[in-house]
């Protein structure tokens, strides 16, 4: 619950500063204060906004982050490889509830991705009913053949293994092998499968924008807090 009075060890452990069992030691090692008064008892209750650690306000209770995902990192908590979460500060990696990506990008896809510990927000943005628009820059192996924009806009394209056709998508041609494609769904490997369905292959995929959020001012691997 946002800014409710909770035990100090509960605040510290949910925000990843230390585990509950380490809290006593943490209070000895760091200057944890409630309204400026140092505390050593783990069961002292306080509002999040009244607590400081070494004179610094606690990390926010809800954390939503926009990242420019670099290639080669994986949007998963448990797959083998370099996980996207390893790019975040260690303390954030230890938060409970966990920070998770809003949907997933493939390992080799780059660009805008949100991460949040707010499960309700995450569900709202990823549910099939969500109509958040996502704009991708797609680099293709072969020159366009000419009918792709029409097929993608038709609302009739059926991908293998799906039971319903894709919603209409908007394609803008930049060069014969480079397009912008705007979709408002998030099916597994959707963009790669769409171009597979029209006899092409995606060789690079960059998400320019997720909803209203773009990563123009963020280098690959950089992120900023949104809340």
Name the catalytic one among 9, 43, 106, 108: 106
- Identify which of residues 17 and 136 has a Cβ nearer to ligand URA in the complex: 136
Cis ω on the peptide bond leading into residue 97 (within 30° of 0)?
Answer: yes
Is 214 annotated as catalytic? Answer: no
106 makes contact with ligand URA (CB under 6 A): yes
**Interface with ligand URA in residues 31-90 (CB under 6 A):** none
Which pair of tokens denotes residue 54? 């070494």
Q: Which is nearer to ligand URA, 32 or 84 (CB)?
A: 84
Nearest to 97, CA basis, from 120, 70, 124, 118: 118
For residue 20, state whether it binds ligand URA (rule: CB under 6 A): no
Nearest to 9 by CA among 55, 50, 40: 40
For residue 15, state whether it binds ligand URA (rule: CB under 6 A): no
Q: Give the SS3 label for residue 191.
A: helix
Task: In whole angstroms, give the CA distance from residue 136 to residue 171.
Answer: 10
CA distances from 27 to 15, 22, 44, 49 (A): 15, 9, 11, 17
Interaction of residue 189 with ligand URA, rule CB under 6 A: yes
Please compute Rg for the chain using Cα positions.
22
Site map (CB under 6 A) of ligand URA, residues 192-211, x = contact: x------------x------
Residue number with CB closer to ligand URA (27 or 157) = 157
- In degrees and rounded to multiples of 5, residue 57 shows phi and psi of -55, 150
Least distance (Å) from ligand URA to the CB of residue 167? 14
Instruction: Work out how close the CB of 122 gets to ligand URA at its nearest, in angstroms, rounded to a whole number.
Output: 17
Task: Identify the residue among 42, 64, 68, 109 touching ligand URA (CB under 6 A).
Answer: 109
Question: Is residue 140 involved in binding ligand URA (CB under 6 A)?
Answer: no
d(CA 148, CA 198): 7
Element spanning 66, H or E: strand 64-69
Closest contact distance (angstroms) between CB of 187 and ligand URA is 8
d(CA 129, CA 116): 19
| Minimum CB–partner distance for residue 208 and ligand URA (Å) | 12
Known catalytic residues? 106
Name the residues that contact ligand URA, by CB under 6 A.
Answer: 105-106, 109, 189-192, 205
């Amino acid at each position: 619950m946002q800014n409710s009075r909770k035990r100090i060890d509960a605040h510290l452990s949910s925000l990843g500063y230390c585990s509950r069992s380490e809290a006593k030691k943490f209070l000895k090692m760091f200057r944890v204060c409630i309204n400026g008064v140092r505390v050593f008892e783990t069961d002292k209750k306080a509002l999040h906004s009244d607590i400081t650690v070494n004179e610094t306000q606690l990390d926010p209770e809800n954390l939503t982050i926009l990242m420019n995902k670099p290639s080669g990192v994986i949007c998963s908590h448990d797959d083998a490889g370099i996980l996207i979460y390893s790019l975040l500060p260690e303390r954030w990696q230890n938060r409970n509830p966990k920070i998770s990506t809003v949907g997933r990008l493939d390992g080799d896809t780059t660009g805008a991705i949100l991460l949040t510990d707010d499960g309700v927000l995450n569900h709202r943005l990823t549910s099939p009913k969500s109509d958040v628009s996502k704009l991708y820059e797609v680099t293709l192996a072969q020159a366009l053949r000419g009918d792709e924009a029409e097929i993608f806009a038709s609302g009739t394209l059926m991908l293998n293994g799906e039971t319903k056709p894709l919603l209409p998508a908007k394609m803008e041609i930049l060069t014969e092998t480079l397009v912008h494609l705007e979709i408002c769904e998030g099916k597994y490997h959707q963009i790669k499968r769409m171009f597979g369905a029209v006899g092409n292959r995606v060789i690079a995929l960059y998400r320019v924008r997720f909803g209203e959020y773009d990563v123009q001012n963020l280098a690959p691997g950089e992120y900023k807090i949104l809340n």
